[in-house]
């Protein structure tokens, strides 16, 4: 298990990286997103960002702005979006990222009808996957809820596009999320990255682990039995200490308290 955190794009990216390093995270999942971590800024400040990452031996993954459209019904708008994806992919590659996550379409189905919504999403992901590959990036498509793409519709997507999946367990645990276990059973071979956070099993709250109603202990137990890779804690609490608490809570549940304390003593003698 490798634990990371995602920067808040409204805060200084360099300060976020230093925060994650001081909290002993393994990597930063950098969302290349305005206002303070846009593609142009990242490219211009590449050396500073890489130096900050290296000072803590932090690895790097990347995430695209969650609101980027992948299936807009207006072709010129979608073309412009794909240009923005390309700029962001370039910046991710400059930082050495190998995995990049996008969200599926979030437009209301009333805009273009469900059938077209799904068809345009699949066509858009095909084009974006090719763009990502051109920059040496492995594209991951993240689940949101059934409004975006249902499990059945994800099957359609993966039958046509050979990309990976970022399983967001918090999203899967909302009222319209269709359940973490159902996603894992359906797409286990494609799941190459995890997002974890808590909620009250209704909305996407992005709470610290244990602050909501998700059975975090059971989820971690289940996850440990089938997965050993990158897990980003997407905790959006204003008090960032809850992010560190969530990391420690995840490690205790994963390794056991005795092993966690031994690891902590080794890292901080």
Please give the structure tokens belonging to residue 156.
């359609």
The answer to whether 26 and 1 have CB atoms below 8 angstroms apart is: no
In this prediction, residue 107 carries a pLDDT of 82
Instruction: Give dist(CA 248, CA 178) in Å, integer.
Output: 28
Q: Tell me: the pLDDT tens digits for 23-59?
A: 999 999 999 999 999 999 999 999 999 999 999 999 9
Query: Is-contact 82 46, C-beta < 8 A?
Result: no
Per the structure, the complete domain to which residue 145 belongs is given by: 2-267
Total number of domains constituting the chain:
1
**For residue 257, what are the contacts with CB-CB under 8 A and spacing of at least 6?**
none
Contact indicator for 149, 190 with CB cutoff of 8 Å: no
Q: How far apart are the first and last CA of the chain?
A: 22
CB atoms within 10 A of CB 162: 10
Q: What is the mean pLDDT of the chain?
A: 95
Distance CA 50, CA 130 (A): 26
CATH number for the domain harbouring residue 147: 3.20.20.150
Tens-place pLDDT, residues 139-190? 999 999 888 999 999 999 999 999 999 999 999 999 999 999 999 999 999 9
Cis-peptide into 35, omega within 30 deg: yes
* pLDDT score at 106: 83
> What's the rounded Cα separation, in Å, for the pair 224 and 254?
7
The rounded distance, in Å, linking the Cα atoms of 260 and 3 is: 14
pTM of the predicted structure, to 2 decimals:
0.94
């Amino acid at each position: 298990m490798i634990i990371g955190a995602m920067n808040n794009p409204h805060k200084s990216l360099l300060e976020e990286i230093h925060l994650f390093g001081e909290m002993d995270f393994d990597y930063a999942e950098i969302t290349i997103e305005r206002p303070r971590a846009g593609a142009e800024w990242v490219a211009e400040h590449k050396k500073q960002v890489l130096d900050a990452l290296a000072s803590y031996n932090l690895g790097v993954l990347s995430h695209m702005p969650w609101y980027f459209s992948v299936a807009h019904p207006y072709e010129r708008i979608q073309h412009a979006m794909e240009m923005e994806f390309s700029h962001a992919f370039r910046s991710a590659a400059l930082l050495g990222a190998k995995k990049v996550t996008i969200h599926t379409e979030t437009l209301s189905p009333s805009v273009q009808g469900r059938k077209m919504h799904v068809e345009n999403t699949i066509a858009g992901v095909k084009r974006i996957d090719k763009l990502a590959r051109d920059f040496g990036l492995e594209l991951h498509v993240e689940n949101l809820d059934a409004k975006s793409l249902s499990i059945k519709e994800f099957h359609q997507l993966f039958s046509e596009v050979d990309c990976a999946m970022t399983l967001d367990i918090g999203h899967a645990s909302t009222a319209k999320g269709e359940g973490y276990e159902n996603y894992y059973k359906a797409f286990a071979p494609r799941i190459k990255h995890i997002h974890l956070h808590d909620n009250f099993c209704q909305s996407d709250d992005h709470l610290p682990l244990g602050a909501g109603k998700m059975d975090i202990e059971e989820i971690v137990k289940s996850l440990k039995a089938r997965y050993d890779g990158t897990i980003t804690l997407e905790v959006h609490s204003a008090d960032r200490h809850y992010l560190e608490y969530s990391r420690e809570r995840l490690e205790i549940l994963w390794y056991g308290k005795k092993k966690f304390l031994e690891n902590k003593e080794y890292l901080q003698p």
